[in-house]
Structure 1
Amino acid sequence: MSINLSSFTPYDLRAKLGEQLNEEVAQAIGYAYAKVTKAKSVCVGGDIRLSSESLKNALAIGLSQAGCRVIDLGLTGTEEMYFATVHYKLDGGIQVTASHNPKNYNGMKFVAKNATPIGRENGLEEIRVLAENILNNYQTSLTNQNLGPIEKHSCLEHYIKHLFTFIDLTKLRPMRLLMNAGNGAAGHVIDAIEQHFQNHDIPIDLIKINNHPDGNFPKGVPNPLLHDCREETSHAVIDHQCDLGIAWDGDFDRCFFFDSKGLFIEGYFIVGLLAEAFLSHDPKQTILHDPRLTWNTIDLVKEAGGKAFPSKTGHAFIKNDMRQRDAVYGGEMSAHHYFRDFFYCDSGMVPWLLVIELLSTKQQNLHNLLKGRIALFPNPGEINFIIEEKEKAIAEVENFFRDQDEKAINIEYFDGLNVEFKNWRFNLRCSNTEALVRLNIETRADPQLLEDKLTLLKCLLNKWIKK
C-alpha cells in the first residue's frame, strides 16, 4: 500500500501522527526539501509537542543526508525560526509545529532564504511529491553521501534584541500585564523579555501563568480563538488587577488581548489599532488586511492618510502581497500580525510590545481606547458551520442575495464570498483543511441589524448541516 502525503495544505503541513507524519516521513521531507530548494544551509526548530523533538531530529537527518548544513535551534516558536533563517543568513528554515491543532497532530512550516514562505505555488508541492516517492521507493531513495553537519545554536539573545527595536523603552509607563503562555513555547521568550525590562529598570510587571512548556497540554491545547480557552486569562486579569492580558497559541505566532476588565478583544480591532500606530509615524505607508472584516481597518487607515489593501487569508499570501506592495504592516483578524521590519513575517511578540507603547503614549487603557471603535462596527466574531458541501452552500447564499429587493452594493469572490450593503456586510469562506464554512459579519453601529442579518444567514446555512 503506497503512502500518500495528503496532509500538505497550500502553505504548510498539518497531519495526524502516524502514517501521514512520523520520523520516517520527517526524514524524507527533510531530504526532499533540500533537493527541491537546493538549500545548502537550513535551520530547524520545534514546538513543545511531545513528538516535536523526534520529528525535528529526523528532519535534520534528512536535510543532512542531502548535504545540508543544519542548525538545530532547539525549542522555539515559529517566529524564532524565521528570525534565525535571516540572522544566520541561511538558505531556509523549517519549524515543526501544529500550532493549535489537537494533541495527536503535528506539522511543519517551511521558508526559504530571507524567511520567504514556501507554499504550493513555489515548491511545496514538489517537496511533497519527492517525499512520497522516497517513502514509496519509486526509484528514489535517501543516500548517505556528503552528509552535512548538524549543529546546535540558540539565537534567543539576538532575537530579543531585535524585538526591542520596535519600541522606545523610555516611553513605557508603569503597567501590570497578565501573560498566559498556555504551556506552549512562549514561556522562555516571556522570561527573556521580563529580564530585559528588569535590566533596563522598566516598570513593567509581568504576572505569568502556564509559563512552563508542557506538551501534555494540562489546560488543553492553547487556542484563545476558542471561547473555552479565554476564561482563565480573563479571570486572572481581574484577580491580579492587570492593565492588560495577553495569551498565545502553541507556537506563539499569534497573540490575543484582554482589556483591564478581562474582556477579550477581537483581533479585528487590534489590526486597526496597530495600523493606526504605524501610520502615526508615517501616514503614507501601506497597510494590508484580510477580507473577512474590513470596515474598521479601512476607516482608520483612510483617516490616518495611509493606503489599505485586502489580501487573501494565509501567511504565504499576505507575506507575498506585503513584499510586492512594500507594506509596513499586515494584519488578520485571526491574530496573525505581519511586519516589514520582521522580514514581512508574523510575530506574536511584536504586537503586544507595540500595544503597551501605544497605551503609554496615549495614556489610556485598552478598554477606553477601543470601546468606541467596537461600537461603530459590531460583529460576533467568526462563526463556523460544519458543512460537507461547502461550495454549494456558499453558492446558494450568493444566489439568495442576488435575488433580494435590497440590492447589494457589491458581490464578489475574493478569499470567499463578499457581500456588501450600505450598513452591513459579510464574508463567507471555506476552510482549507476542514468541512467548515466560516462566516464573518459586521454592521455600521447597528446591533439590531447585526442580530437580524445573523439570524437570516444562520437560517440559510443551517439547512446544509447534516443531522
Structure 2
Amino acid sequence: MGQQEIFKREAFKAYDIRGRVPDELNEEVAYRIGRGFVELFAARRVVVGRDIRLSSESLTKALVRGLTDMGCDVVDIGLCGTEMIYFSTFHLGVDGGIMVTASHNPMDYNGMKLVGKGARPISGDSGLRALEDLVVTGSFSTELAEKNTRGNVEDYDIMSEYTQHLLTYVDVANIKPLKVVVNAGNGCAGPTIDALEKVLPIEFIKIHHEPDGTFPHGIPNPLLVENRAATSAAIRENGADFGIAWDGDFDRCFLFDEQGEFIEGYYIVGFLAEAFLRRYAGAKIIHDPRLTWNTIEMVNEAGGVPILCKTGHAFIKERMRKEDAVYGGEMSAHHYFRDFAYCDSGMIPWLLVLENMSIAGKPLSELVAARIERFPVSGEINRTVSDGKQILAKIEELFVVDGAVVDRTDGLSIEFSTWRFNVRISNTEPLLRLNVESRGDIIVMEEKTRELLTVIESYKMV
C-alpha cells in the first residue's frame, strides 16, 4: 500500500463493519467509509439508513458527509431496518445502500452493512477489503468534489412502498384474525409493525415496542435464552396464537408457539421451503450445512431441489442468484427471497407463517411438532477456543470411521446412519460452533452432543 496506516482494521469483518465506538468505529472512520464507497463503486446515488443506537445518528451524518463530499447524492430513509436498505436499493434503482447498525451487538458497538447495485452484498471478496485499505491508510486517489458539485441529500419515507411489497408474499384475504405477540426489543421493528397493523386483521400485543437506543430491556438478541422470557410470558398471559421477536435491525425474526415455546430457526427453514414449493413447483431451495436432514426431506417430499451452501449471507445470496433459487434459509433465522433481490428479511417469514397457520387452521406447535420429533437437534452450542483448527483436526481423527460421510462445505460435517453433526469456526469471533441432530432419537442426539463437547472442552485451551 505504500502509506502508513493511521486507523485500526479491527472493525472490518468478513461480511460487514462492526466495532467499538469510538475506538474502532467513529465519525472520522464513517466519513472515510463514505468517501471510499464512492471512489470504489463509482456511486452517484446511495441509500442510507440507521438503527436506533445512540451513536447511529452522528455516524450517519459523518457517512453522508463523506458521500456528498465526493459528489454522490444520498437518499436518507432515516430510522429503519437493514432489509429496508436492501429494498430501497433495488426498488429505487440506486448505486448502493449503507445501513448503520450493530444489530444485536453490545451497547458500545456500532457498524455498517453495505450493498451495491441491485442490493448485491459487499463483503470481503467483493470490495470490503479494498474499502478497508482506503479507510485505514487514507490513500484516496479521487479528489473531493468542488463545492458546487457536492451531492444532495433527500429525505425519503420508504415505509409505504416497503410494506406494500411485503404484502405481495401473502394473500391478506387468507389471514384470520389471530392474536400475535410482537417483541421489537426496543429496536427498529416497531414502526413496520405499526404500518402493517393498518392492513392486517391481527390483534398485535406489543411489548418493548418503542425504538429506544438505551435498550432498557437489554440488547435485542432473541438467540440469548434469557431474552426470550418476556415474549413467552406475554403469549401465555394473553392467550396469543403465537409470538415474534426480532433483533435490533430486524433482519432476523424468531418465532414462539402458542404455549410460549421458542422454535428453533432450523424447523422454520423447512416450513418456508414447503410453502414456496406449493407456489413454485420443482424450485430450488438453498440451505446451510449446520443442520440439514429436516430441510432436505421436506424439500424432496415437496418436489423441490435442496442445494447445500456455505453459511453466510454473501455465500447464500451468490448461490441463490447462480441457481435462481426461490428461497434460501439458514438455521440462524436468516431467510432469503428471490423476489426480495435474494436478500434476507425478518418480516416476510412471519407473514408466510401467519398465512399458512390461517389456511391450515392449526396451532404453530402442531405444524412443527412432527418435524421436531423426527429430527431432534442440540441447538447451536458455542465454545470459546484458542485454536479451532486443532480441535477440528482432533474431532476428525476421532469421528471419521468406516461408514462416516464427511463434508467440508463449511467447517466439518460428519454423517452417520442415525445422527450427524457440524462443527465450524466462527468467521467473526474466537468461537467453535457445534450443531448435532439425529433421526428421531433424542437420546442419541444428547449422548453424541455430550461426547463432542467433552472433546472440545479437552482441547480448547482458553
Query: TM bucket by the smaller chain?
Result: over 0.9
Aligned pairs for 1:172-183 (under 5 A) are 172-183=175-186
SS at match of 2:209: coil
8 Å CA contact 1:65–1:142 kept in 2: the answer is no
2:426, 2:403 → 1: CA distance?
A: 25
2:424 aligned with 1:429, yes or no? yes
CA separation in 2, counterparts of 1:142 and 1:107? Answer: 26
The 8 Å contact of residues 6 and 137 in structure 2, kept in 1 or not, is answered as: no
Task: Say which of 411, 420, 436 aligns to 1:441.
Answer: 436
Alignment of 1:296 onto 2:294: yes
* Distance (whole Å) between structure 2 residues aligned to residue 343 and residue 141 of structure 1: 31
Report the equivalent of 1:150: 153
Structure 1 residue matching 2:15: 3-state secondary structure: coil
- Two-structure CA RMSD over aligned residues (Å): 1.3
Distance 1:107 1:268 in 2: 27
User: For residues 160-199 of structure 1, what are the structure 2 equivalents within 5 Å?
Assistant: 160-197=163-200
Alignment counterpart, residue 210 of structure 1, candidates 204, 208, 224:
208
Which residue is equivalent to 2:252? 254
Whether contact under 8 Å (2:175, 2:358) holds in the other structure is yes
- The answer to whether residue 298 in structure 2 is matched with residue 306 in structure 1 is no
Please state how far the C-alpha of 1:308 moved relative to its aligned partner: 0.3
Aligned amino acid, residue 223 of structure 1? N
1:1-400 aligned at under 5 Å gives the runs 2-134=6-138, 138=139, 143-145=144-146, 146-197=149-200, 202=201, 204-400=202-398
**Larger mean Cα displacement after TM superposition, 447-456 or 22-31:** 447-456
SS in 1 for 2:260: coil
Partners of 1:412 and 1:369 in 2: CA distance: 31
Which residue identity lines up with residue 249 of structure 1 in the other structure? D
Structure 2: gaps spanning 5 or more residues: none
Matched residue SS, 1:189: helix
Paired with 2:160 and 2:203, the residues of 1 have a C-alpha distance of: 21
Report matched runs for 1:413-424 at 5 Å. Answer: 413-424=408-419
CA distance in 2, matches of 1:25, 1:122: 20
Give the TM-score normalised by structure 1. 0.96
Partner amino acid for 1:354? Answer: L
SS in 2 for 1:265: coil
Paired residue secondary structure (2:198): helix
Deviation at 1:409, TM superposition (A): 3.1
How far off is 1:144 after superposition? 4.7
8 Å contact kept, 2:287–2:295: yes
Q: Measure the CA separation in 2 of the matches of 1:87 and 1:449.
A: 48
Q: Which amino acid aligns with 1:218?
A: P
AA partner of residue 61 (structure 1): R
SS of the residue corresponding to residue 196 of structure 1 reads: coil
Whole-angstrom distance in 1 between the partners of 2:439 and 2:150: 61
Following superposition, the deviation at residue 283 of structure 1 comes to 2.3
Rounded to whole Å, the distance in 2 between the matches of 1:251 and 1:334 is 15
Note the alpha carbon deviations across 1:418-438, whole angstroms, 9 max, x for none. 000010000000011111000
Aligned counterparts of 1:412 and 1:346: Cα–Cα separation in 2: 26
Cα displacement string for residues 414-464 of structure 1 (whole angstroms, at most 9, x for unaligned residues)? 111000001000000001111100000000001111121111101100012
Please identify, of 142-151 and 61-70, the stretch whose mean Cα deviation from structure 2 is larger.
Answer: 142-151
d(CA) in 1 for partners of 2:165, 2:428: 34
Residue 463 (structure 1) aligns with: 458
Conserved in 2, the CA contact under 8 Å of 1:31 and 1:142? no
Shift of 1:412: 2.3
CA distance in 2, matches of 1:126, 1:356: 43
User: Shift in Å at residue 165 of structure 1?
Assistant: 0.5
Whole-angstrom distance in 2 between the partners of 1:330 and 1:244: 23
Q: CA deviation at 1:408?
A: 3.8
Q: Distance in 2 between matches of 1:442 and 1:122?
A: 34
Indicate the percent of aligned positions where both proteins have the same amino acid. 50
1:11 to partner: Cα distance: 1.3
Q: Report which stretch shifted further, 123-132 or 407-416.
A: 407-416
Q: Deviations over 1:316-375 (max 9, x none)?
A: 110111011001000010000000111111000000000010011111111011111100
Quick check: 2:107–2:219 contact (8 Å CA) kept in 1? yes
Alpha carbons 1:401, 1:408 under 8 Å: kept: no
Return the offset for 1:395: 1.0
Partner AA of 2:449 in structure 1: L
Equivalent pair of 1:290/1:313 in contact (CA under 8 Å):
yes
Alpha carbons 1:133, 1:140 under 8 Å: kept: no
Q: C-alpha displacement at 1:171, in angstroms? A: 0.6
Give the TM-score, by structure 2 length. 0.97
Tell me if structure 1 keeps the 8 A contact 2:39–2:142: no
Paired residues, what number? 456
- Are the equivalent residues in 1 in contact too, given 2:328–2:335 (CA < 8 A)? yes
